[in-house]
Amino acid sequence: MRFATFMAIALLALACSQDPSSLGSMNTTEISVTDDFFTPAADTVTVGQNITWQFGSLNTHTHNVTWDTGPVMPANSGDKNPAGTYVMFFSQTGTYTYHCTYHGTISGSGMAGSLVVQ
């Protein structure tokens, strides 16, 4: 019985030992698109990694991902209303910025995001 209690405590301690900083929003491969935000708006990803923009089914506005810098084609996701997905990957390192043409600007205000590809 004591051994079982010890094991239960040991397993609980192991489960709680995950570094909380690893639970942040950086290095995600999925960016959610909701009225009117990209989450996370700034992200760091790895070259060759697929990144998926997931347009929420509860959106009441039309959104898109339109590149200010970065991939040449396709230059945008096309309009998604309300739901959909857009997948992109980068073969070169750099900082790439994008915005929704309806709710953001090329200067990065409003509904806009950036990716650091390393």
The answer to whether residue 100 forms part of the interface with Cu ion (CB under 5 A) is yes
DSSP 43-85: EEE-TT--EEEEE-TT--S-B--EESSS--SS-B---BSS-EE
Helix/strand/coil for 40: coil
The answer to whether residue 80 forms part of the interface with Cu ion (CB under 5 A) is no
Which letter does DSSP use for residue 38 in this model?
Answer: E
The answer to whether residue 89 forms part of the interface with Cu ion (CB under 5 A) is no
Of 37, 45, 86, 103, the residue at the interface with Cu ion (CB under 5 A) is 103
The answer to whether residue 99 forms part of the interface with Cu ion (CB under 5 A) is no
The answer to whether residue 102 forms part of the interface with Cu ion (CB under 5 A) is yes
- Which CB atom, from 90 or from 104, has the smaller least distance to Cu ion? 104
CB atoms within 10 A of CB 108: 14
Give the contact letters, 35-74, x = binds to Cu ion (CB under 5 A), - = no.
Answer: ----------------------------x-----------
Question: Apex CA 83: angle with CA 114 and CA 87, to 5°?
Answer: 45
Residue numbers at the binding site for Cu ion (CB under 5 A):
63, 100, 102-103, 111
